[in-house]
A and B are shown apart, each in its own frame.
Chain A
């Protein structure tokens, strides 16, 4: 930037204006980054506890299913869940959070999950399937907020890059340019003045 700048007062003015804008932009972006960060941390906290909860209940449900596998032989179990009568309607839409497009999942489950005979099946299977049915919305919600966190993280990344660019490249460069221009201008003025004084001297001698 230093090379191709013309040393004019107008340019100096322009640079100063840009510098002011850069400073203000930097402050704004910094604020945005902080806010995003805060939100992100909150979301992370939420995800962490939610994930823990979902994982715990998923483990419980899995265990229930294992025991169902233990009580009933594999053949009977697979026959029971051979033709499921449950259907899941899932609709996706988008939601604006911090000018980020985050996905939103809407769904409802239809049909009877216990669509098998009750003679050769154990109640353990009922419990396991019921558990899976209850945990399914939670899983979807978890994936929703995790995706949101992911998008937020990439937004933060972007903002930080901008802030850094401003802070470490643009602002110092502008500063330097302004200093350079003003120094050169001062120098020019000084040489001009000396020249004038010299001319005055010559004129006086004659």
Chain B
């Protein structure tokens, strides 16, 4: 809603507050309104969890939720099912999107995974059997001078210390640069704020992870991402603070809840699981506030994010089932992901 208020609103020039580019999303909104209903809810997950074994869970998925679990009458592994489902979501989104390039921002992570694997194999000097993604925009250094520069930079850094982590470090930073480049090109406020939020959440997670790993400040500054709403200095300056001081310092900031969750995890010395869940939930919640928007990119983003979340939850259920972890424990583990 805010985006309509923030825009220039001229009665004659802008009849009906509608922008041509937003009207293009009408069709996708209608279609996703139906598809959104098939996203699994809390009860569906519970049903899947209390199923006796993996086979029964698969059968439930096929019969009740319309997942394709068979290929020519032979059962496929759950990983393939989830992959296939996500690829179909990818195809749907790219099919519906009026401007396809905008949605690259959701799939760059897969391209960067492939790029990382390729680079690591090249620099390690031998083939390492690692699965690749078949989705995501294609990144080829032959066609992109930006990418070529990045790879040259990576090779320079790598040959200095032969540390493979540097590859990840540089590419993660460049990942956000790629996203920001798309956002700058199209100047859609939602996308811009989404990317900023992503960067902030990544930094917050990193902040607390490094606290549990007890790394020093210099190490943190090497990994922090720039371009978020909060400057890197904020994290570096508050890094050494004790938990109670940190709690007081971060009481009034935008991400106070997340910081509070993280501090609680630190104090109880539990895993940062809760924080990671809260971060995922944070974005989903922000997008569930956009339910009333019909003409815009938000319904598509919302659908995509929910679908990603669904994949993650299903994966956790299957992992739990396969390793015969008790139902209660699985339920407890995925409880934080409901929105």
Contacts and interface: CB of A to CB of B under 8 A. Distances in A.
Interface of A: 62-64, 66-67, 69-71, 73-76, 78-79, 82-83, 85, 112, 114-120, 122-124, 126-127
A118 B223 contact: yes
Contacts of A123: 205, 208-209, 212, 271-273, 275-276
B169 A117 contact: yes
Given A83-B124, A117-B172, 18 more contacts: A62-B323, A66-B319, A67-B333, A70-B315, A71-B276, A73-B311, A73-B315, A74-B131, A75-B110, A79-B116, A83-B128, A85-B163, A117-B165, A118-B209, A118-B223, A123-B205, A124-B273, A126-B209
Contact of B165 (A64, A71, A115, A124): A115
Q: State the main secondary structure of chain A at its contact with B.
A: helix
A124 B130 CA distance: 20
B131 A78 contact: yes
Given A76-B113, A85-B163, A117 B276 contact: no
Given A82-B120, A85-B164, A71 B312 contact: yes
A127 B319 CA distance: 17
A71 B316 contact: yes
A79 B172 CA distance: 13
Given A75-B133, A79-B130, A118-B209, A70 B319 contact: yes
A69 B213 CA distance: 20
Interface of B: 79, 109-110, 113, 116-117, 120, 124, 128, 130-133, 163-165, 167-169, 171-172, 175, 202, 205-206, 208-209, 212-213, 223, 225, 271-273, 275-276, 311-312, 315-316, 319-320, 323, 325, 333
15 contacts: A66-B319, A66-B320, A69-B319, A70-B312, A78-B130, A82-B117, A83-B128, A117-B169, A117-B172, A118-B172, A118-B205, A118-B209, A123-B205, A123-B271, A124-B273
- Of the candidates A70, A76, A120, the one having the most CB atoms from chain B within 10 angstroms of its own CB is A70
B164 A83 contact: yes
Contacts of B116: 79, 117
A129 to B, nearest CB: 11
Given A66-B323, A83-B124, A117-B172, A75 B132 contact: yes
Contacts of A63: 323, 325
Nearest to A67: B333
Nearest to B277: A71
B202 A119 contact: yes
A115 B219 CA distance: 13
Nearest to A112: B165
Contacts, number: 99
A105 B281 CA distance: 48
Given A123-B272, A123-B276, A117 B171 contact: yes
A118 B316 contact: no
Contacts of A70: 312, 315-316, 319-320, 333
Contacts of B124: 83
A170 B208 CA distance: 75
Nearest to B128: A82
B316 A85 contact: no
A83 B120 CA distance: 8
A206 to B, nearest CB: 109
A92 B136 CA distance: 49
A64 B270 CA distance: 12
A117 B130 contact: no
Nearest to B82: A73
Contacts of B128: 82-83
Nearest to A69: B319
Contacts of B164: 82-83, 85, 115
Contacts of A115: 163-165
Contact of B213 (A67, A83, A126): A126
Nearest to B272: A123
Contacts of B202: 119
- Of the candidates B117, B120, B168, B209, the one having the most CB atoms from chain A within 10 angstroms of its own CB is B168
Nearest to A116: B168
A124 B271 contact: yes
A72 to B, nearest CB: 9
A78 B117 CA distance: 10
A71 B116 CA distance: 20
Contacts of A112: 165
B135 to A, nearest CB: 11
Contacts of B169: 117
Contact of A79 (B117, B275, B311): B117
Contacts of A116: 165, 168
